[in-house]
């Protein structure tokens, strides 16, 4: 057993390395797969769709917000990996009474890289994690932000319409791309807006994320009737903006392509 600290500052003892892992977060599940931990991972959530083979074969223990505690404990995990934002505090506290739970708290690229390093080392894949960290850092170093800052509103939900606010991982990604996130003007990390508040939004671009709400073309048209004239809506890949594990390898390439298309649309 080794004593480790999670990103919340809590200490816990885990086997070195753990042999039965339950993952409560899709992006961290994908990271575990990237690290080659197929045999060690025994349980995932119903939202852990990547890799597809795991989604089909691994035991599912509910959703990120509605965990089935009994199913998790029945799998006899020696490590549970969760996240402060994505999992409910009450469920995490209940699990902590029975099994070791390591929580991430990811709000920007640096804390994402730290999570990757800590999880990799804890699971006996320290070298693989170090290589992944360096590859992600190199990819982001090549990313060139907008030449002139633009205002953007990033939507994650409809009925009610919900924006990404400040102090969030997506907000940090938007800032790296040269955007000014208008969601910061509202209180809360994910503020809900009334139609009256929507009508006051003044943004150059309105991003509609592919997750957690599956926005489509009809929603672009709907939104453009609710906000101030002039701004344009755009469907974006939510996973590449919000999954903070190994998916970050793909994000800079997608971001560069997105920025090029946006600038071309304005030309």
- pLDDT at res. 264: 86
Q: Domain for residue 145, yes or no?
A: no
Report whether pLDDT(207) > 90: yes
pLDDT band at 228 (very low <50, low <70, confident <90, very high): confident
Average pLDDT over residues 68-85: 98
Residues 88 and 119 in one domain: yes
Only one residue has tokens 């057993």, namely: 1
Q: Are residues 159 and 90 in the same domain?
A: no
Domain boundary among 139, 165, 197: 139
Distance CA(91)–CA(46), nearest Å, equals 16
Residue 173 lies in a domain: yes
What is the rounded average pLDDT of the residues 29-55?
Answer: 97
Residue 163 falls inside a structural domain: yes
Domain that holds residue 133: 2-139
CA distance 114 to 118: 6
Mean pLDDT of 202-225: 94
Token output for 180: 């000014």
Asked, for residue 144, whether it belongs to a domain, the answer is no
Residue 266 has pLDDT above 80, yes or no: no
Strands in the chain per DSSP E: 2-5, 11-14, 21-23, 41-44, 59-60, 79-83, 101-104, 150-157, 161-163, 179-181, 192-193, 205-209, 232-236
How far apart are the two ends of the chain, measured CA to CA in Å?
A: 59
Same domain, 80 and 169: no
Mean pLDDT within 69-93? 98
In this prediction, residue 35 has a pLDDT band, given cuts at 50, 70 and 90, of very high
Q: Are residues 27 and 116 in the same domain?
A: yes
Residue that finishes a domain, picked among 94, 113, 139 = 139
Instruction: Write a three-state SS string for 159-192.
Output: CCEEECCCCCHHHHHHHHCCEEEHHHHCCCCCCE
Pair 201, 116 in one domain:
no
CB 222, CB 195: distance < 8 Å: no
Does position 147 have pLDDT exceeding 90, yes or no? no
In a domain, residue 129? The reply is yes
Q: How far apart are CA 61 and CA 23, in angstroms?
A: 9
Mark whether 18 and 63 lie in a shared domain: yes
- Average pLDDT in the 182-197 region? 94
- Predicted confidence (pLDDT) at residue 267 exceeds the cutoff of 70: no
Tokens of 46: 């119903």
On whether the CB atoms of residues 84 and 8 are closer than 8 A, the answer is yes
Residue 224 lies in a domain: yes
**254 in a structural domain:** yes
pLDDT at 229: 84
Clarify whether residues 22 and 129 are in a common domain: yes
Burial of 120 (0-12, 13-18, 19+ CB in 10 A): buried
Place 52 in a pLDDT band, splitting at 50, 70 and 90.
Answer: very high
Say how far apart CA 30 and CA 43 lie, in whole Å: 13
Q: What is the CATH number of the domain that holds 21?
A: 3.40.50.1980
Domain boundary residue, one of 96, 118, 139: 139
Q: Give yes or no for residue 245 having a pLDDT over 70.
A: yes
Please give the mean pLDDT across all residues of the chain. Answer: 96
Let me know: does 54 contact 33? Beta carbons within 8 Å.
yes
Minimum mean pLDDT range among 7-11, 51-55, 263-267:
263-267
Domain shared by 22 and 108, yes or no: yes
Q: How many domains does the chain have?
A: 2
% the chain with pLDDT above 70: 100
pLDDT tens, 135-145? 999 999 999 99
In a domain, 107, yes or no: yes
Looking at the structure, tell me whether residues 109 and 161 fall in a common domain.
no
Query: How many CA atoms, within 13 angstroms, populate the side-chain half-sphere of residue 191?
Result: 20
Are 121 and 49 part of one and the same domain? yes
Q: Say if residue 12 is in the same domain as residue 103.
A: yes
- Same domain flag for 120 and 72: yes
């Amino acid at each position: 057993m080794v004593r480790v600290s999670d990103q919340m500052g809590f200490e816990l003892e885990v086997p070195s390395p753990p042999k039965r892992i339950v993952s409560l977060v899709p992006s961290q599940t994908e990271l575990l797969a990237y690290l080659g931990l197929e045999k060690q991972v025994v349980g995932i959530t119903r939202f852990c769709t990547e890799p597809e083979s795991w989604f089909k074969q691994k035991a599912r223990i509910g959703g990120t917000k509605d965990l089935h505690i009994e199913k998790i404990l029945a799998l006899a995990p020696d490590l549970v990996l969760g996240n402060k934002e994505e999992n409910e505090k009450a469920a995490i506290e209940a699990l902590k009474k029975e099994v070791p739970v390591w929580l991430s708290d990811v709000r920007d690229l640096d804390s994402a890289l730290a999570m990757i390093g800590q999880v990799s080392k804890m699971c006996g894949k320290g070298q693989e994690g170090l290589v992944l960290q360096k590859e992600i850092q190199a990819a982001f170093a090549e990313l060139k932000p907008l030449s002139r800052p633009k205002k953007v509103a990033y939507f994650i939900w409809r009925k009610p319409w919900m924006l990404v606010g400040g102090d969030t991982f997506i907000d940090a990604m938007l800032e790296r791309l040269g955007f000014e996130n208008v969601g910061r003007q509202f209180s809360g990390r994910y503020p809900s807006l009334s139609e009256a508040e929507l009508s006051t939004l003044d943004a150059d671009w309105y991003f509609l994320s592919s997750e957690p709400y599956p926005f489509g073309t009809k929603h672009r048209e709907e939104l453009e009737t609710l906000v101030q004239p002039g701004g344009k809506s755009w469907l974006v890949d939510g996973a590449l903006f919000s999954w903070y594990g190994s998916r970050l390898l793909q994000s800079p390439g997608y971001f560069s392509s997105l920025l090029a298309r946006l600038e071309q649309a304005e030309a």
